[in-house]
Every structure is written in C-alpha cells, then in structure tokens.
Chains A and B, each alone.
Chain A
Amino acid sequence: DAGVIQSPRHEVTEMGQEVTLRCKPISGHDYLFWYRQTMMRGLELLIYFNNNVPIDDSGMPEDRFSAKMPNASFSTLKIQPSEPRDSAVYFCASSLGTSDSDTQYFGPGTRLTVL
C-alpha cells in the first residue's frame, strides 16, 4: 500500500487567501484524523472522522477551519481566510476500525506558511 498521501507537501500563501489541504487515507481504513504540529503547541488533534462522518471536531481552532470527507478515499481541510498564526505542519492519519483501530498511520504532512 502507498500509505497515507497528502498534498501539497508545501504551501506558501498570503494572509487572507483560502488554503485547501488534501488527504487520501490507506484503503480500507475507517478512521481519518487531521492534526496540526507547531513548535509552541506541539501536536494537536483538529478533527477526526469515522466512515466519513465527523466524530469530534472540538480541536478545530475556529470557524475559519473546516474539514470534509466526501468519500472513503478523500478528505480536505480548508482554511478561509488564512492567517500567519495558521503556519504549521498539518498531518493526516488513518486507522482501521477493528481491534487495531488505535494504531494510526500518518502521512508525510503539509508544511503551510502564511505570510
């Protein structure tokens, strides 16, 4: 399997612009997670889905952030409008919905820079 795929790997944008990050989970995995990693705050869970349905979005910082999972093989995280404090590495992860559901497989991340 190719693992979790994220795109783009790097994104540089200007404040106020819309940013869309994309994720393809491992085929057959039922759970998908979006994390944000910064030096100041470490690794934060933003939202996660089970079978395409959002389960917990309590980590989404504010209304400027939204996430969707239209099907089992694709998810997006959108920031509109973006701000410099959104600069971070965003990770997508997926896991099986079985007794091994607690093992998460991470993508390589998207490094976002908002100028």
Chain B
Amino acid sequence: GNSVTQMEGPVTLSEEAFLTINCTYTATGYPSLFWYVQYPGEGLQLLLKATKADDKGSNKGFEATYRKETTSFHLEKGSVQVSDSAVYFCALSDPRFGNEKLTFGTGTRLTIIP
C-alpha cells in the first residue's frame, strides 16, 4: 500500500540556518505530493504541493521537488525563522481514490532558536 516515511524529529536549528526535512514515499500510480504545516494549537495547513515528477512546489521560502527516481519530496528552506517552528507533515494522494484521500507521514517537529 501507499506510505510516507519522514525524517525523525525533533529538529532544532538556530535562526537563519538551512533546513532540510527528508521525505520518501511508496505509492501505486502517480500520486501528488504535499507538505502540510501545523502550528501550535491549530489544524494542518497546506504549505506546498507538486503534482507530477520534477515539479517544484514553493511557498513562504520553502521548496520541495518531486523526485520520481528517488521517490522523494524533501522540504528545504535557505534561512529559517523563529516563526517557522511547527510540525511538518509530508503526504501523498491516492490516485486509486481519485486523489482526494491523503496518506500522511508521522510529522517532524521543528524548533527554531533565536
């Protein structure tokens, strides 16, 4: 079945550091890939997505590229801020169900220190 494997957390970085959160997936067909972010006390919000191989999703300085050859969708940001502290979830859609059903990773907690 479909699955998403995320980098184990928690991750703690200093402000302005470079961020990478690894995500690899196993899927049947050609899923869309997502990164969602959850700020403390809130629901998940879509951060970025990519719908086909070699697509790059980007938002708020974050980027991730859909790599079919390595089945990966790693999240990167060049210079993190304290406000980026949150839990980040990698996810994929399931084309067997018309893409509306998502499979989420376990989440990676990110803490940025001033």
User: A and B bound?
Assistant: yes
Residues of A within 8 A of B43 (CB): 4, 91, 93, 106-109
A82 at the interface (CB under 8 A from B): no
Q: Are B44 and A102 in contact (CB under 8 A)?
A: no
Q: Are B107 and A91 in contact (CB under 8 A)?
A: no
Interface residues on A, range: 20 to 34
26 inter-chain pairs at a CB distance below 8 angstroms, sorted by A residue, are: A31-B100, A42-B104, A43-B89, A43-B107, A45-B101, A45-B102, A55-B97, A56-B101, A91-B43, A93-B43, A95-B100, A101-B99, A101-B100, A102-B32, A102-B34, A102-B49, A102-B93, A102-B99, A104-B44, A104-B46, A105-B46, A106-B44, A106-B45, A107-B43, A108-B43, A109-B43
List residues of chain B with CB under 8 Å of any chain A CB.
Answer: 32, 34, 41-46, 49, 89, 93, 97-102, 104-107
